């Protein structure tokens, strides 16, 4: 990335800037890696500070709530004030949150750090995705689609490996992430501003969340697969390591990191494999993958068998990525272009609430009935939602679930790399 790329504004130049797109992709991956890095550490925090599973899932959930609220009010901030200033603010806040994790000596620090991290990630998500799309119109949609999933995957995996095999298990991963963020912040001024801002434009942070009338019936038929996927994701990222440790009796943090790695990694890979298929096929793969994968996971819990639990997570990961992509590519073509941002905001509200609220309930339930029983009940709900989505796809008619819209015509609504 040359220093000459630090021009202040675009002048209608839409030529691809691959190096800049890759820089922003790397920054997006670091943000999402930081979001999943605490996951393998949760059992260690519990043992060190003696807090409950309810508080553990609250630490996870406050991040999701903060991210959601911030994303709703700051989604268009970089359009109004420029990509680089907004990204710089997000990186600075994320760096402070990493410092809070480094200093943490009790659950209060974790809660505060996760809240600030949620705010930073909420600000960064839309700005970085827009910067990637601005920098490379051809490959940008695919980068912005799979980058967050791979970031979450490798963040959990490397955190688990560091916790299991490196010194300072509660500190090292955050020190490394802080170093990466500061390095990227130093390089950010070299990037070229891509937002076409208007000087003196008043700042507007009013959320726009709406499901157009033309979309509602189809959304009701297909959204259970997204709810099931994100609910499973929330459980995996909050209670997954505890499940490995308590039910399967494997206390190596690397195994907890591997469990949290598989779901988003396989999800991102399924997006790559299925991105040119019809939305209907993606929804079918999503429903069957989630239902079958969850069933195998429950068999692993019942048999206290680690390989079944990991195999089920892998299969469910296929459903996670395919199902969510199928929902997006089914509903977005039904909305007018001016209403798609508000529709996506509504979908993300549903998804983030699906990841956080059920996980909170599960955390409280473990105090009453135990983790294993809670997992059976949680898994049954995920399977029921996946089956409900399959009924909606199979019984709702081919047109209402996007079968008539091939990948070539649905490019704005789904990841593309052609």
- Which ranges of 139-278 does DSSP label H, i.e. alpha helix? 140-165, 172-187, 213-238, 240-246, 253-274
Q: How many CA atoms lie within 13 A of 400 on its CB side?
A: 17
Asked if residue 202 is part of any domain, the answer here is no
| Residue that is last in its domain, among 160, 194, 228 | 194
Count of Cβ atoms closer than 10 Å to residue 48 Cβ: 14
Asked if residue 78 is part of any domain, the answer here is yes
CA gap 273, 266 in Å, rounded: 10
Question: Do residues 171 and 284 both lie within one domain?
Answer: no
Question: Do residues 89 and 122 both lie within one domain?
Answer: yes
Question: Do residues 112 and 40 both lie within one domain?
Answer: yes
150 pLDDT exceeds 90?
yes
CA gap 17, 49 in Å, rounded: 48
Question: Do residues 246 and 295 both lie within one domain?
Answer: yes
CA gap 54, 332 in Å, rounded: 36
Least confident window among 30-44, 81-95, 208-222, 238-252: 238-252
Question: Do residues 189 and 296 both lie within one domain?
Answer: no
Full DSSP string of 4-73: GG--SS-SS-----HHHHHHHHHHHHHHHHHHHTTGGGHHHHHHHH---HHHHHHHHHHHHHHHHHHHHH
Check which CATH number belongs to the domain holding 140 and give it: 1.20.1250.20
Residues 144-172 as b/e (b if ≥16 CB within 10 A, e otherwise) read bbbbbbbbbbbbbbbbbbbbbeeeebbee
CA gap 305, 240 in Å, rounded: 14
Asked if residue 1 is part of any domain, the answer here is no
Instruction: Name the helix (H) or strand (E) containing 99.
Output: helix 83-103
Asked if residue 83 is part of any domain, the answer here is yes
State how many domains the chain has: 2
Asked whether 269 and 153 are in contact (CB, 8 A), the reply is no
Asked whether 263 and 317 are in contact (CB, 8 A), the reply is yes
> Could you report the per-residue pLDDT of 19-42, keeping only the tens digit for each?
899 999 999 999 999 999 999 998
Mean pLDDT across the chain: 85
Query: Rounded to an integer, what is the distance from CA 228 to the centroid of its chain?
Result: 14
Question: Do residues 86 and 158 both lie within one domain?
Answer: yes
Question: Do residues 188 and 219 both lie within one domain?
Answer: no
Share of the chain above pLDDT 90, in %: 52
Question: Do residues 160 and 284 both lie within one domain?
Answer: no
Asked if residue 176 is part of any domain, the answer here is yes
Asked if residue 3 is part of any domain, the answer here is no
Q: Which one is predicted more confidently, 286 or 204?
A: 286
| Residue that is last in its domain, among 194, 220, 240 | 194
Q: Residue with structure tokens 């925090």? A: 45
Question: Do residues 162 and 279 both lie within one domain?
Answer: no
Q: What Rg do the C-alpha atoms of the chain give, in angstroms?
A: 21
In 3D space, the residue among 196, 237, 199 whose CA is nearest the CA of residue 78 turns out to be: 196
User: Where does the pLDDT of residue 415 fall: very low under 50, low under 70, confident under 90, or very high at 90 and above?
Assistant: very low
CA gap 282, 328 in Å, rounded: 10
| Residue that is last in its domain, among 142, 170, 194 | 194
Averaged pLDDT for residues 118-147: 86
Question: Do residues 49 and 176 both lie within one domain?
Answer: yes
Question: Do residues 187 and 59 both lie within one domain?
Answer: yes
Question: Do residues 272 and 392 both lie within one domain?
Answer: yes
Asked if residue 67 is part of any domain, the answer here is yes
Q: How many CA atoms lie within 13 A of 206 on its CB side?
A: 4
Question: In this structure, what are the phi and psi dihedrals at residue 206, rounded to the nearest 5 degrees?
Answer: -75, 125
CA gap 86, 126 in Å, rounded: 10
> Could you report the per-residue pLDDT of 170-200, keeping only the tens digit for each?
899 999 999 999 999 999 999 988 777 666 5
What per-residue confidence (pLDDT) applies to 9? 38
CA gap 245, 17 in Å, rounded: 46
What per-residue confidence (pLDDT) applies to 199? 63
In the structure encoding, which two tokens stand for residue 31, read together?
């943000």
Expressed as residue numbers, the domain containing 320 is 209-407
Name the pTM for this structure. Answer: 0.83
Taking CA 207 as the corner, what is the angle to CA 217 and CA 151, rounded to the nearest 5 degrees? Answer: 85
Asked if residue 4 is part of any domain, the answer here is no
In 3D space, the residue among 392, 107, 416 whose CA is nearest the CA of residue 277 turns out to be: 416
């Amino acid at each position: 990335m040359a220093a000459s790329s630090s021009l202040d504004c675009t002048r209608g130049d839409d030529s691809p800037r691959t190096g800049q797109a890759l820089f922003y992709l790397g920054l997006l991956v670091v943000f999402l890696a930081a979001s999943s890095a605490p996951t393998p550490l949760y059992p260690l925090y519990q043992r060190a500070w003696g807090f409950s599973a309810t508080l553990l899932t609250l630490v996870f959930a406050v991040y999701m709530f903060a991210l959601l609220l911030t994303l709703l009010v700051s989604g268009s901030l970089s359009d109004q004030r420029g990509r680089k200033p907004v990204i710089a603010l997000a990186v600075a806040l994320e760096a402070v949150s990493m410092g809070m994790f480094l200093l943490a000596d009790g659950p209060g620090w974790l809660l505060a750090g996760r809240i600030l991290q949620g705010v930073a990630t909420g600000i960064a998500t839309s700005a970085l995705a827009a910067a990637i799309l601005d920098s490379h119109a051809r490959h940008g949609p695919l980068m912005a689609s799979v980058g967050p999933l791979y970031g979450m995957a490798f963040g959990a995996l490397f955190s688990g490996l560091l916790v299991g095999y490196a010194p300072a298990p509660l500190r090292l991963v955050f020190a490394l992430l802080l170093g990466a963020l500061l390095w990227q912040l130093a390089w950010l001024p070299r990037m070229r501003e891509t937002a076409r801002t208007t000087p003196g434009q008043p700042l507007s942070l009013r959320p726009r969340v709406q499901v157009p009338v033309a979309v509602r019936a189809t959304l009701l038929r297909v959204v259970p697969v997204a709810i099931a996927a994100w609910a499973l994701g929330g459980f995996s990222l909050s209670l997954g390591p505890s499940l490995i440790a308590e039910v399967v009796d494997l206390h190596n943090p690397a195994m907890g990191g591997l469990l949290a790695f598989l779901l988003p990694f396989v999800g991102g890979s399924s997006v790559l494999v299925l991105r040119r298929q019809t939305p209907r096929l993606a929804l079918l793969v999503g429903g069957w993958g989630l239902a079958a994968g969850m069933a195998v996971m429950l068999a692993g819990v019942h048999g206290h068998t680690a390989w079944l639990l990991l195999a089920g997570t892998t299969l469910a990961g296929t459903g996670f990525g395919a199902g969510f992509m199928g929902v997006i590519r089914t509903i977005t073509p039904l909305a007018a272009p001016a209403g798609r941002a508000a529709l996506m905001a509504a979908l993300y509200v549903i998804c983030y609430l699906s990841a956080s609220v059920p996980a909170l309930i599960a955390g409280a339930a473990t105090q009453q009935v135990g983790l294993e029983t809670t997992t059976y009940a949680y898994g049954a709900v995920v399977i029921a939602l996946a089956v409900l989505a399959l009924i909606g796809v199979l019984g709702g008619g081919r047109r209402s679930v996007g079968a008539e819209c091939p990948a070539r015509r649905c490019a704005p609504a789904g990841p593309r790399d052609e």
